Amino acid sequence: MPRGKKKEKLPKAESTNPEIKQEVPPPAPVATTPPEAAQVAPKAETSRDEPAKAFSVAHNNAAGLRLLKHSRFKQVQLQFAGDAPPEIREQLEKKHWRFRPEEGVFTKQYGFEGEAAAIISARRLYGELCQKLTRGQGHGTGI
């Protein structure tokens, strides 16, 4: 079987005229920073020591109660406007909610069921607590 033809290497074209010189332009200067980067503000550094923000799920101003979701710590939080009444504090402790005095909130981890199930059960409890708190104040259901 015949093989393909070999390609012949062509010699480099050289100028026979000595007056013609091939000049190579000098390389362009390299900028250390692009011009658009000089106009962009530096990015703020974040630290794990900074408090992360909680997302508000529900709030009731009449009852003075807020339900918050904290995705970073995988927990839901109940925040009272003032101090929680003793009977509500006991109810929360029975349902395994923990009080964090430095933040002034009651917290509960999501658990194995996940975030959605934790928020559903926390909303149920939130509704019950709002009813208890607003009944004592003479308001309606408060939900």
- From CA 52, how far away is CA 61, in angstroms rounded? 23
Q: Which domain holds residue 102?
A: 55-137
Does 129 map to a domain? yes
pLDDT in tens, 55-66: 788 888 888 999
The domain total for the chain is 1
Give 14-34 pLDDT, tens digit per residue: 556 666 666 667 777 766 666
Q: Is residue 47 part of a domain?
A: no
Specify if 13 maps to a domain: no
Does residue 125 sit within a domain? yes
List the alpha helices (DSSP H) in 11-143. 35-39, 86-94, 115-137
Give the position of tokens 């100028």: 15
pLDDT mean over 122-134: 93
Decide if 111 is inside a domain: yes
For residue 50, the model assigns a pLDDT of: 60
Q: Percentage of the chain with pLDDT > 90?
A: 38
Cα 35 to chain centroid, rounded: 31
Query: What digits encode the pLDDT tens for the residues 95-104?
Result: 999 999 998 8
Q: Is 66 domain-assigned?
A: yes
Q: 94 lies in a domain? A: yes
Instruction: Identify whether 107 is part of a domain.
Output: yes
